[in-house]
């Protein structure tokens, strides 16, 4: 049924929720929480390991960065409230986890020293240099892009259209003109461009989904992507 142009759209009627996907999963009980936890562990392991290594958080508790992050996930995500607390925090999920990792390392230090000689975790957060922050953000950006590409490829594979991925990559990354690619594939240049455009749309949809799960609003996503581009070059101050 056609709607009139002045009908309010759902987004005009209701404010967009920042954390829809994880919120939905948590409302589905244990199975949903397991899915949410699995997603968090898969998506944020690498950036947190990079961050842990950059800050040398592992030095004080003599454990490998990856083991620290795995331990952090095991400890925090076992708590039913952990992700619910994030939903109320107003933070991006990656910021919530980064702060949480600091607190976890502080707890581990205290436990190891028994005498309470560990440094103050919040002080550590404040003392963190911009370069470590940028390393974390860069690892997150590259990880999110990697996940988005894999999602797009899986979708293309399912439709038997993997060759479109090669076309997209060859043009956008290798810089080969559509005319050359089209000749190789026995198609016209506009057809090649159209296929690559469709692949870009799939990667875009996947990346936007990942950013939404991290807590970005749809209206913030363009800025988020530009911030990701910026942080690739940012070396800290």
Partner 1 sequence: MNGDRDAADTLPVVTNSMAMQLFCAILGESALPIDLLAARCAAVDGAEWSRSVLDQCSTTPTTREGWIAWKVNAKMSIRESDLRAGDSVALGFFLRYFGAIAGCLALDGSLISTIDRAEIRRGLIVIGPSLPGDWRSICATARQRIDQEDSPRNATPGATPGATPG
Site for partner 1 in 201-220 (CB under 8 A): 201, 203-204, 207
Distance CA 194, CA 161 (A): 13
Q: Quick check: 50 and 135 in contact, CB under 8 A?
A: yes
Beta strands in 32-168 (DSSP E): none
Q: Quick check: 121 and 98 in contact, CB under 8 A?
A: no
Residue 225 interacts with partner 1 (CB under 8 A): yes or no: yes
Contacts of residue 140, Cβ cutoff 8 Å, sequence gap at least 6: 44, 47, 94
Site string for partner 1, 162-181 (x = CB under 8 A): xx-xx-xx--xxxx------
Residue 103 or 187 having the CB closest to partner 1: 187
User: Smallest distance, Å, CB 47 to partner 1?
Assistant: 14
Stretch touching partner 1 by CB under 8 A, among 20-28, 47-55, 87-95, 148-156: 148-156
Q: Quick check: 206 and 152 in contact, CB under 8 A?
A: yes
Distance CA 115, CA 93 (A): 32
Site string for partner 1, 36-75 (x = CB under 8 A): ----------------------------------------
Q: What are phi and psi of 143, to 5 degrees?
A: -65, -45
* Interface positions with partner 1 (CB under 8 A): 138, 141-142, 145-146, 148-150, 153-154, 157, 162-163, 165-166, 168-169, 172-175, 197, 200-201, 203-204, 207, 222, 225-226, 228-230, 232-234, 237
């Amino acid at each position: 049924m056609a709607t009139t142009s002045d009908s309010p759209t759902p987004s005009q009627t209701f404010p967009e929720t920042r954390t829809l996907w994880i919120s939905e999963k948590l409302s589905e009980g244990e199975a949903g929480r397991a899915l949410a936890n699995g997603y968090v562990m898969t998506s944020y392991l690498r950036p947190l390991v990079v961050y842990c290594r950059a800050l040398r958080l592992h030095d004080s508790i003599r454990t490998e960065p990856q083991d620290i992050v795995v331990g952090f996930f095991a400890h925090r995500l076992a708590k039913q409230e952990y992700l619910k607390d994030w939903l109320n925090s107003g933070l991006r999920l990656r910021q919530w986890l980064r702060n949480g990792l600091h607190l976890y390392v502080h707890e581990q230090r205290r436990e190891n020293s028994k005498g309470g000689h560990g440094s103050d975790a919040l002080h550590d957060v404040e003392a963190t240099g911009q370069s470590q922050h940028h390393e974390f953000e860069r690892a997150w950006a590259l990880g999110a892009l990697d996940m988005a590409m894999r999602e797009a490829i899986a979708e293309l594979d399912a439709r038997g259209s993997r060759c479109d991925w090669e076309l997209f990559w060859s043009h956008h990354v290798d810089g080969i003109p559509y005319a050359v690619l089209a000749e190789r594939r026995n198609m016209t240049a506009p057809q090649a461009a159209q296929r690559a455009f469709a692949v870009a749309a799939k990667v875009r949809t996947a990346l936007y989904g990942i950013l939404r799960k991290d807590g970005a609003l749809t209206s913030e996503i363009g800025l988020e992507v530009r911030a990701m581009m910026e942080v690739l070059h940012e070396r800290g101050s």
